Amino acid sequence: METLYSEIVVAGCGNPLYADDGFGPAVVESLQGLELPDNVTVVDAGLGGPHFVFTLLNPESTKTLIIVDIADFGGEPGELRWLAVDELPVGSYRDSHSWDLTEPLQRIKDDIRVRILACQKKYVSAPDMVIGITDEVQRAIPRAVSEILKEIVMNYGTV
């Protein structure tokens, strides 16, 4: 059962209309098919995720925010990497209105543990629409689910 302001929020960010940018929502879809503890909220935050996700957080009850997204950190396509807010690639959270979203993440990181599970993209088609994640990034989805479950178990007990 999902509750407002749960202890752990997992937010998949991205847009499935732009090839590998659909990674975050695909991971969320996989997680939503699992039975998770009541203290975990899993949400497809979509393209506006970095804005929307802040409405799901409350420093009095939320302990961890896990953001799942693609990134370009110079790895091999499909490679996963846990990033702290300070490790986000420059411009990785700059939206179409030029709001640099690393700033609000910097502001909450002392009150809420923020972890970013990034997947190295192979291809993002924006502004052209291409539905379908590349094979390399598709193969990373089950590994991402496993990483998130390990993160939850390591910090909060059993799943």
Q: List, for residues 80-94, the tens digit of each pLDDT value.
A: 999 988 887 655 555
Q: What is the DSSP string of 18-31?
A: BGGGGHHHHHHHHH
Mean pLDDT of the chain: 84
Domains of the chain: 8-156 (3.40.50.1450)
% of the chain surpassing 90 pLDDT: 50
Q: What is the mean pLDDT of residues 126-148?
A: 95
Give residue 84's pLDDT.
87
Max Cα separation, the chain?
43
Give residue 38's pLDDT.
87
Residues with Cβ within 8 Å of 105's Cβ and at least 6 positions away in sequence, in order, are 50, 85, 88, 93, 114
Q: In whole angstroms, what is the distance from residue 60 CA to residue 143 CA? A: 31
Give residue 90's pLDDT.
59
Question: What's the pTM?
Answer: 0.87
Confidence of residue 59 (pLDDT cuts 50, 70, 90): confident
- Tell which residue, 66, 74, 64, has the closest CA to residue 49: 66
The residue among 93 and 131 whose pLDDT is bigger is 131
Q: Does residue 127 have a cis peptide bond before it, meaning omega lies within 30 degrees of 0?
A: yes
